[in-house]
Amino acid sequence: MFKVMILAAGKGERMRPLTDTCPKPLLRAGGKMLIEYHLEKLAHAGFTNVVINHAYLGNMIETALQDGKHYGIHIHYSPESLVLETAGGIANALPLLTNSDKNQPFAVINADIFCDMDFSILQPLMQQMQSNLGKTLAHLILVDNPPHHPEGDFFLHGDTGELVESARPNCQKLTFSGIGIYHPALFADVPPNQAVKLAPLLRQAISAEKATGSHSPGVWLDIGTPERLQQLDIRLNRSGRHL
C-alpha cells in the first residue's frame, strides 16, 4: 500500500504572530485545523498510512492528531531536531515511506495548502511510476498561477505530460501545488541529517527527462499569510464547504 507524507516541519514565519504559539498545520479555517482537511481527504481516497514530519512545536502536532485513528488512518511521525528543509525531511522519513522497498514511490503534500483535489487520483500515478522502474523520479501536480505567484514554477508539455526546462510549443508554465509523487531514487544523494531543498533535485530530474506533471484545475490556495488564512475561513464559513 502506497504511503503519503505531509510536510509539517516549517516554522511559519510569514504567519506570525499566529504561529508564535501554534504550528501552522494546526491553525484553523472553517472550523477545522488545516491539516485535518488533508487527513480526511486521504482517508476518503483509501490511504491508510500517513507520515508527518515536524520540528517547530512538533509535540503539539502529535498531541492534536495522535495516532490518526480518529481520521481513519494510521499516522507515523518523523521528528526533526533540526529543520531539514523539504528534501532533507523527505530523505529522513524514507524508512517510514518505503518499507525498504527501493522502488516504491510515495506522495508528499504540503500541510499549508488547501485544495479540493480528489486524492484518489494519486494512486494510479504511483502505480505507473512504480511500473516505470525508476524512469520517472517525480510527478508534480500543477495549478493555475495564483495572483501572488504569476510567474509560475515549471513548464508542462501539454501533449506528453513531461516537465521541461524552458518554453516550447504547447507548453504552459504553471505553479507547483505542493503535491507531488516521488521515487526514492530522487533522494539517493541527499546526505543524512542535513538541510536540503527540493527544487534543485526537481530541476535535475527535469533536465534528465525523468519528471512529469499534470494540471489540476480545481480550487487551490497557498495559506501562506494570516490574510489568506482569514480569506479561507470566510470562504468556508460562507459556503458551508468543509472538504
pLDDT, one tens digit per residue, over 219-231 is: 999 998 999 999 9
With a cut of 70, say whether residue 161 has pLDDT above it.
yes
pLDDT of amino acid 155:
93
Listed in sequence order, the residues at least 6 apart from 11 whose beta carbon sits closer than 8 Å to its beta carbon are: 19, 24, 55, 56, 83
Cell of 81: 531536531
Ramachandran sector of residue 28 (left: φ over 0; alpha: ψ -120 to 50; beta: rest) = beta
Is there a cis peptide before residue 105, judged by omega within 30 degrees of 0? no
pLDDT of amino acid 243:
44
| Whether pTM exceeds 0.85 | yes
What backbone torsions phi and psi does residue 204 show, to the nearest 5 degrees? Answer: -65, -40
**pLDDT tens per residue, range 102-145:** 789 999 999 999 999 999 999 999 999 999 877 999 999 999 99
Tell me the pLDDT of the chain averaged across its residues. Answer: 92
Least reliable range by pLDDT among 103-107, 156-160, 167-171, 237-241? 237-241
Listed in sequence order, the residues at least 6 apart from 170 whose beta carbon sits closer than 8 Å to its beta carbon are: 157, 158, 159
d(CA 172, CA 145): 10
Rounding to the nearest 10 degrees, give the CA dihedral for residues 100, 102, 104, 110: 90
Average pLDDT over residues 185-200: 94
